[in-house]
Structure 1
Amino acid sequence: MHEAMMLPLNEQIQQVTDEAMQCALQEAMAGRIEQAGKLYRAILELQPGHAEAHFGLAMLEQSAGNMTAAIPHFAAALQGDPERENYWLTYLDALMFARQFSTAHELLGLGRSHGLQGHAVDAIEQRLVASGAPTVQDVDEGTALFAQGRYEAAGEAARLLTERFPQHGSGWKLLGAVHYLKGEIVQAMAAVQKAVAYAPDDAETLSNLGLLLQETGQAAEAERVLRRSITLQPHSSHAHNHLALALLASGRLKQAQASASTAVALDPTHAEFHNTLAMALDRQGRSIEAVDAYRRALELAPERADLHSNMLLCMSRMENMTPSALFAEHLSFGERLEQRIGTPRVWPNTLDPRRCLRIGFVSGDLRNHALASFVEPIFERLAGRQGLALHAYYTFPVHDAVTERLRGYMAQWRDVAALRDAELDELICADGIDILIDLAGHTAYNRLPLFARKPAPLQATWIGYPGTTGLRAVDYYLTDRFILPPGQYDHLFTEKLVHLPVSAPFAPVADGPEIVSLPALANGYVTFGSFNRVDKIRRNVVALWCVLLRALPEARMLVAGLPEGGNYEQLQAWFAEERIDGARVRFQARTGIYDYLALHNQVDINLDTFPYSGGTTTLHAMWMGVPTLTLIGDTAAGRQTACILEHNGLAQFASHDADDFVRKGIAASTDLTALSALRATMRAHFPRSTSDDITRIADGVENALRMMWRGWCAALPAVSFEAPQVLAQEASMRGFISRR
């Protein structure tokens, strides 16, 4: 038997690698460059981090004049063996030759901190200075300020660098980082793009650019840039995490999970990487694993309220989470946050129950987002009323046409994405806000830590999240009697429930497609649809849908609004496990709003998700004449569709258990005459933009705000109440006791 075959596998690989290295060196010395290159690449297939093979391949590429190809291999060689001084010097020399002075400068600084010194190093530094690059000390001063969290000072240092060395990437890179952490995304993008222009092979700068591209909705370009960054620096945990975020934005969930897992493996102590992994798992319906990842993130960064909010949102979609357990988790969030930052406050607001009230709205969704369809009709009616002055605190860094339209309804608009909670707290206090309203809950860009500080004497939450904030500092939760019937759900909220006439009106798309006749009449079979987010579609949801599909063997189903890329293997597998022929189920990726609505013209009845039901999707379907069959849940999130159905006289589509869901689905599917008639009339349920109905809803909101304020002026504790459409006369308040 061959001697090598008797060795353990890893030793066999090492022996083969050593022999190949000897051969590669001999081939290179003999001038047989192509053969040497093949051997080096073969070694790297066996051991991707082999420093000597990377260095040898870099030297071959450099000798051939291919500096762009050589530099990543020099970088990999140094990463594989940072103790080899010649790796540092050769890599630095290659960067200087390629005129990548910014990258060379940063590498020199890293080398100095690693103990690199001597005449050769001094000579490289002199060449850098002669090239117009800043000294290591120049850059280190700015980066030290940044590391200390002194962002204003770091920004000034960065601006000085860009003025002194405008064609060097270091200053622009630092300036971009400062702008980003201040929430100034547009300015950060401009600075980082300049940094990349002057240092195109700086892996960290490319990683930063990829993150900015992803956050501004340019996922495809972000992926391209980040893959380039990873090629240059394969072991960059941040680049892998940024790539995972870009893949998530593109809906490529399994690839996102793989990239996030790589980031976690490279740096298991970074909370953000566990958070990204959790999001990738959550969107695949793998809630238990996702919650485990969220909990690990919180162990590493217990002060990160946003990670906790992500976990709560995930839990609200879990099939086995009871309402009481879900409330306990939200309460834990509130208690942890308020113990950390909540402090007693005294507010200087004038105690006058009749005066004009300053109402503040905090949200990152005042843009082309579903929330705008609900709040805009109310803002339009309340704007300019003598009793109210509307103030917006916008927490998202980018504006669009909807943002500009909503701004027009405000007495004052504040862009606050760049402000820290303490700074925003001071601003709201200075603005004298009387009632501050959260429009996000535990969704993205929320500022719940701000609400824990209680910058306004009264605080409420509305629309953005179907559930409690968990904060004692938030006094009221605005809802209506169909979502949360009075007295039945109060124990699941830290807030007191205020029942409006309607929780919020809905403004449908102005130029949507026309409704066509019932598809089943032409098809000869019923087509069910689902337009909910994929992370609401869990295994048990598909199982119930399939009971209905098996009961109606001719029926078809369209699952739309899915991520792009066609990665629907998990959903397809679930339908297959339920013995549903794949030909009966069609999957459709996300589209623009017009095409999205037009897809409803192929659907007869929508099937809802649970325990987190539809909201905007249910209303869009109604606008297109399609009713939604729902399973009524035990939480606000599970009752959204049922509330919409109740408000519109469609209770026959709200079921109380799985058997009822199937019975009602069969009944609706077999009475096509009734379904067709319903389709033709459903759009009439929506009030026109000029309707008095919307005015009455706005009146209810204003009256609720006034009643909250009257109670506070009278030193009364917050209590649940029903907001009337017509407010009682001011004279009825004469018995109130002044706080002063």
Structure 2
Amino acid sequence: MPPPTADIQKLADEALHAALNDLEAGQTEQADALFRAVLELQPQRAEAHFGLGLLMRRGGNTGAAIPHFANALQAAPQETSFWLAYIDALMEARQYTTASELIALGRRQGLAGPEVDAYEQRLKKDGTPPANRIEEATRLYAKGKKEAAGKIARQLADRYPQHPFGWKLLGGVLYSRRAYPEALQAMRKAASYEPEDAETLRNLGVMLREAGQLEEASSTFERSIALDPENVKTHTYLAATLQEIGRPTQAYASIAAALALDPDYPDAVSGLATILDNLGRAEEAVTAYRRVLALNPDHVSAYGNMLFCMSHMDSFTPEELFEEHVRFGQRLAARCGAARRWDNTPQPGRQLRIGFVSGDLRNHAVASFVEPMFRELSGRPGLVLHAYCTHPLHDDVTARLRSHMPQWRDVNALDDDALAALIRADGIDILIDLSSHTAYNRLPVFARKPAPVQVSWLGYPGTTGLTAIDYYLHDRYLVESGQHAHLFTEALVRLPVGSTFEAPADAPDVAALPALRNGYPTFGSFNRLSKISRRVIAAWAGLLRAVPDARLLVAGMPVEGGGHEQLAAWLQEEGIAASRTSFHPRTNTRDYLAMHAQVDICLDTFPYTGGTTTLFALYMGVPTLTVSGASIAGRQTAALLRHHGLEQFFADDAEDFVNKGVAASKDLAALADIRSTLRERSPFWRPGGPERIADGFEFALRRMWERWCAGLPPEAFEVPDAAAPACREQTAPAHPAPEGDLRTLNEENT
């Protein structure tokens, strides 16, 4: 049974009296024990907290003293000495913002006197960086002298840790170095000390977006706009963030607001182009991209985005598209200039250092292709794999991919010159581009030619336009032998199978054919919105009219608004009742795959046909009806169907598309058989398939290398099925052969 309250009070009073005597006598250990004993009895006893705060400060631990002074003041706000001790401790700890707020609170509650006046004077002197240091740091940053500015910023942040300027400038310097996590941390501190500064909030929003924290970035940009509604940059950043979140209607409104402020701001015009592109308004998007390039001819990302957009359009012939890629390559080459000398030993049979450059080594469609290839190649004695990851964010997929790589480099923080120098220093023999004209590509690095042999593979269905890239690896069914060489600046290398592919480990099992259960066929599309044009909808609608009881399921729509409304309107124009269609937003991969259980036949887009979407559908037992086009992008699905023996599903034109769709939807027995056997007949998933595909890939690399060692220029060739497996048995020499005079053969070889 606890002692009576009166007894507790008496014990606490006696212990406190003794503690104060010991404190005055310098008996610190005894005083500490007694003060803590008082708090055991009365946890909110103001005098005990105050005494412990004094002890902590005498011991040099001001940080530990501050909470005790805060507790003392909370328990007895009428004690002036508690206010002054708390303020003094905050000043000593350089927590000037908190000290200033505490003084203001005290003033409102009647705190006055010369001591308080003195603290306010100290705050003006000690709590704010000297104006000349702020001006010096700002001037250095504006002149591009980031190292010097960063040094001052670090000093100011250390000396004035609760003043926003040092943190704000430090965040900017760190961001310019692409040290994104550290920059975000610094800018968060700046915003916490100056929450009403629109520029700080804008900078914080940029860094949050870079870190993938899109919702917080969006709200931060909105706070900045509320403070400074006339800033075109903030509206542009908000639009881009909303686009990434999947809110195209809101994104369009934000970019319109930016352009209303400055119609010629290149980033805003580029943002408009990207939003239009993602809304499927390709013609308008290309017009906007061309306007960006007129405003800023060196806007590399806008040029690449325009090329990617143009590849989705049937208003450009393959030859016209190629010419535009060549112009891009020429412009980039003129800026960068390719190397012509390398220190790589030109020995044909030695172990090769293979570098992969990509922004998609994460939870991205590309990972489904490269992971089994990395796994197959990583243990082979003839190769050492190097990865150059250009994306700032990592996830579980990144960790898996990294486990297959003996050498992994996170290079997002490096500019193009620094990355090219790193690749040269690593002695990369063959450098492989996995991104081409897609996000986070580093084509300007490839234009510098840091490796003697450079290759484009997988990331883009077409040429890079760069003569500095020697080869383009492709599937034998994607590019017909001798028919498309004039559409590439690279020499074409024809693989038996263009790449490996692996479905997620938690993918659902193949479901029974839904038409057998429903009594009607269901067509489906899982393609992104930007690929679905008015012409595509017309072809789909023609099939729906020809099969009047069929349904259409369209998935992958934006998270909210701005997507399916346009498609629904087009379908209505085509006479398709809304009751026959359903639209579904983007979702996680497993649910996306499970949705195939509702679909009998997938409908492709054109002229940019499916790749990953087609393979995922095949894995779930669903064939895709396609129109085989003239461009590389237009042949992707047809190539995959040929690998699975499904030639009956690719058509020559829209009329043939309808005829073949009608025939396939009527033969439910054939569809059910296809559904149950697709995984078994696939070169990607049958036993030994990934190993054989990797054999062909390694064979191609070795052949490229042999030509470089012989001083020969890049040349198109085909990898035979039978020859590929022999490379698995190859062993690397224990020591590289001497370089001798062979290197002179390759000094000018590109």
**TM-score normalised by length of structure 1:** 0.80
Q: Which runs of 5+ in 1 are unaligned?
A: 1-95, 102-124, 731-736
Paired amino acid for 2:603: L
Give distance in 1, aligned partners of 2:579 and 2:686: 45
Give distance in 1, aligned partners of 2:558 and 2:132: 48
For 1:464-504, what per-residue CA distance to the aligned partner results, in whole angstroms no more than 9, with x for missing partners?
Answer: 11110000000000002100011111110000000112110
Give distance in 1, aligned partners of 2:284 and 2:294: 15
For 1:152-179, what per-residue CA distance to the aligned partner results, in whole angstroms no more than 9, with x for missing partners?
Answer: 3332222122111111122222222222
1:144 correspondence with 2:157: no
Structure 2 match to 1:586: 582
Confirm or deny: 8 A CA contact 2:679 2:686 kept in the other structure.
Answer: no
Pairing of 1:106-505 with structure 2 (within 5 A): 129-130=124-125, 132-505=127-500
Distance 1:584 1:390, change over 3 A: same
Secondary structure at the aligned position of 1:437 is classed as strand
Shift of 1:699: 1.1
Confirm or deny: 8 A CA contact 2:543 2:658 kept in the other structure.
Answer: yes
Distance 1:186 1:311, change over 3 A: same
Distance 1:381 1:689, change over 3 A: farther
Secondary structure at the aligned position of 1:468 is classed as coil
Structure 2 match to 1:551: 546
Give distance in 1, aligned partners of 2:237 and 2:686: 46
Pairing of 1:608-623 with structure 2 (within 5 A): 608-623=604-619
Give distance in 1, aligned partners of 2:132 and 2:275: 41
For 1:532-556, what per-residue CA distance to the aligned partner results, in whole angstroms no more than 9, with x for missing partners?
Answer: 1111111111111111111111111
Give distance in 1, aligned partners of 2:179 and 2:574: 49
Give distance in 1, aligned partners of 2:489 and 2:123: 61
Shift of 1:127: 9.1
For 1:535-578, what per-residue CA distance to the aligned partner results, in whole angstroms no more than 9, with x for missing partners?
Answer: 11111111111111111111111110111014322111111111
Confirm or deny: 8 A CA contact 1:515 1:624 kept in the other structure.
Answer: yes
Residues paired across the two proteins, number: 616
2:511 to 508, 516, 534: 516
Structure with larger Rg: 2
Paired amino acid for 2:398: T
1:595 correspondence with 2:616: no
Confirm or deny: 8 A CA contact 1:528 1:607 kept in the other structure.
Answer: yes
For 1:48-67, what per-residue CA distance to the aligned partner results, in whole angstroms no more than 9, with x for missing partners?
Answer: xxxxxxxxxxxxxxxxxxxx
Structure 2 match to 1:71: none
Shift of 1:516: 1.8
Secondary structure at the aligned position of 1:461 is classed as strand
Q: Which runs of 5+ in 2 are unaligned?
A: 1-96, 103-119, 731-740, 746-750
Shift of 1:525: 1.1
Give distance in 2, aligned partners of 1:184 and 1:553: 58
Paired amino acid for 1:433: I
Secondary structure at the aligned position of 1:365 is classed as coil
Confirm or deny: 8 A CA contact 1:530 1:560 kept in the other structure.
Answer: yes
Give distance in 2, aligned partners of 1:688 and 1:486: 22
Secondary structure at the aligned position of 1:179 is classed as helix
Paired amino acid for 2:706: R
Distance 1:566 1:264, change over 3 A: closer
Give distance in 1, aligned partners of 2:584 and 2:129: 53
Distance 1:129 1:315, change over 3 A: farther
For 1:614-634, what per-residue CA distance to the aligned partner results, in whole angstroms no more than 9, with x for missing partners?
Answer: 111111111111111011111
Give distance in 1, aligned partners of 2:331 and 2:342: 24
Give distance in 1, aligned partners of 2:499 and 2:121: 67
Give distance in 2, aligned partners of 1:542 and 1:653: 18
Give distance in 2, aligned partners of 1:655 and 1:98: 75
Secondary structure at the aligned position of 1:609 is classed as coil
Confirm or deny: 8 A CA contact 2:501 2:684 kept in the other structure.
Answer: no
Shift of 1:687: 5.7
Task: Determine which structure has greater relative contact order: mean sequence separation of CA pairs < 8 Å that are 6+ residues apart, divided by chain length.
Answer: 2
Structure 2 match to 1:107: none
Confirm or deny: 8 A CA contact 1:631 1:656 kept in the other structure.
Answer: yes
1:710 correspondence with 2:706: yes
Structure 2 match to 1:63: none
Give distance in 2, aligned partners of 1:396 and 1:282: 22
Shift of 1:128: 7.4
1:507 to 483, 502, 506: 502
Distance 1:98 1:578, change over 3 A: farther
Paired amino acid for 2:579: A
Pairing of 1:55-74 with structure 2 (within 5 A): none
Distance 1:136 1:612, change over 3 A: farther
Give distance in 2, aligned partners of 1:221 and 1:577: 40
Secondary structure at the aligned position of 1:347 is classed as coil
Confirm or deny: 8 A CA contact 1:611 1:633 kept in the other structure.
Answer: yes
**TM-score normalised by length of structure 2:** 0.79
Shift of 1:201: 1.3
For 1:61-120, what per-residue CA distance to the aligned partner results, in whole angstroms no more than 9, with x for missing partners?
Answer: xxxxxxxxxxxxxxxxxxxxxxxxxxxxxxxxxxx999799xxxxxxxxxxxxxxxxxxx
Give distance in 1, aligned partners of 2:122 and 2:592: 59
Distance 1:689 1:656, change over 3 A: closer
Confirm or deny: 8 A CA contact 1:254 1:280 kept in the other structure.
Answer: no
* CA root-mean-square deviation: 2.2
Q: More displaced, 175-184 or 157-166?
A: 175-184
Q: More displaced, 284-293 or 454-463?
A: 284-293
Secondary structure at the aligned position of 1:186 is classed as helix
Give distance in 2, aligned partners of 1:282 and 1:100: 50
Structure 2 match to 1:698: 694
Give distance in 2, aligned partners of 1:159 and 1:296: 41
For 1:584-639, what per-residue CA distance to the aligned partner results, in whole angstroms no more than 9, with x for missing partners?
Answer: 11110011111111111111111001111111111111111111101111111111
Confirm or deny: 8 A CA contact 1:526 1:556 kept in the other structure.
Answer: yes
For 1:12-41, what per-residue CA distance to the aligned partner results, in whole angstroms no more than 9, with x for missing partners?
Answer: xxxxxxxxxxxxxxxxxxxxxxxxxxxxxx
Confirm or deny: 8 A CA contact 1:214 1:249 kept in the other structure.
Answer: no
Structure 1 match to 2:647: 651
Confirm or deny: 8 A CA contact 2:141 2:149 kept in the other structure.
Answer: yes
Paired amino acid for 2:665: S
Give distance in 1, aligned partners of 2:682 and 2:131: 65
Paired amino acid for 2:623: P
Give distance in 2, aligned partners of 1:128 and 1:482: 74
Secondary structure at the aligned position of 1:445 is classed as coil
Distance 1:676 1:422, change over 3 A: same
For 1:636-668, what per-residue CA distance to the aligned partner results, in whole angstroms no more than 9, with x for missing partners?
Answer: 111111111001111111111111111100001
Distance 1:100 1:492, change over 3 A: farther
Confirm or deny: 8 A CA contact 1:250 1:565 kept in the other structure.
Answer: no
Secondary structure at the aligned position of 1:180 is classed as helix
Q: More displaced, 194-203 or 678-687?
A: 678-687
Confirm or deny: 8 A CA contact 1:100 1:201 kept in the other structure.
Answer: no
Secondary structure at the aligned position of 2:280 is classed as coil
Shift of 1:688: 7.5
Structure 2 match to 1:676: 672
Give distance in 1, aligned partners of 2:134 and 2:659: 71
